[in-house]
Amino acid sequence: MTHNIYLYILVAAAVSFLIRVLPLTLIRRKIKNPFIRSFLYYVPYVTLSVMTFPAIITAPKLPLAGILALTAGVAAAWKGVNMMGIAALCCAVVFICEMAAPYLM
């Protein structure tokens, strides 16, 4: 069975919209439950980590370029480089690796 891309977009948009507006319109008190607060606190970090690895290695044509981009990105983030700088660095590492690869192998 194939699915309609517009329906996919609509479902995603509807869920995103509800997530964003329901608390704002309904809940007027601070969430006190420590488990829910903690869970929501950890969620973005887990999601982003799981999405990043190992996908960053499989996305470029050359897996080694992905490994080096990950290493460089983590090092730069640790040093406090901003988001755009890190994204640009990762791209540059992959580009240079893939350009250099034919001459090294």
Partner 1 sequence: MNRNKNAFTNGIRDGIPIALGYFAVAFSLGIVAKKAGLNPFQGFLSSFLNHASAGEYAEFTVIMANAPYIEMAFVILITNIRYMLMSCALSQRFDPGTSNAHRLLVGFGITDEIFGISIGRIGALNPYYNYGAMAIALPGWSLGTALGIVAGNILPASIVSALSVALYGMFIAIIIPASRTDKIVGGVVIASFLASFAVSKIPQLDRMSDSMKISLLTVIIAGAAAALFPSKDDDGFDIDKKEEGGSRI
Distance (Å, whole) CA 92 – CA 76: 13
Write out the binding residues for partner 1, residues 56-85 only, by CB under 8 A. Answer: 56, 59-62, 65-66, 69-70, 73-74, 77-78, 80-84
- x/- mask, partner 1, residues 9-38, rule CB under 8 A, reads x-xxx-xxx-xxxxxxx-xx-xx--xxxxx
Provide the CA 72 distance to its chain's centre, in angstroms: 16
For 93, counting Cβ atoms within 10 Å of its Cβ (0-12 exposed, 13-18 middle, 19+ buried), the class is buried
Closer of 35 and 103 to partner 1 (Cβ) = 35
Q: How far is the CB of 72 from partner 1 (least distance, A)?
A: 9
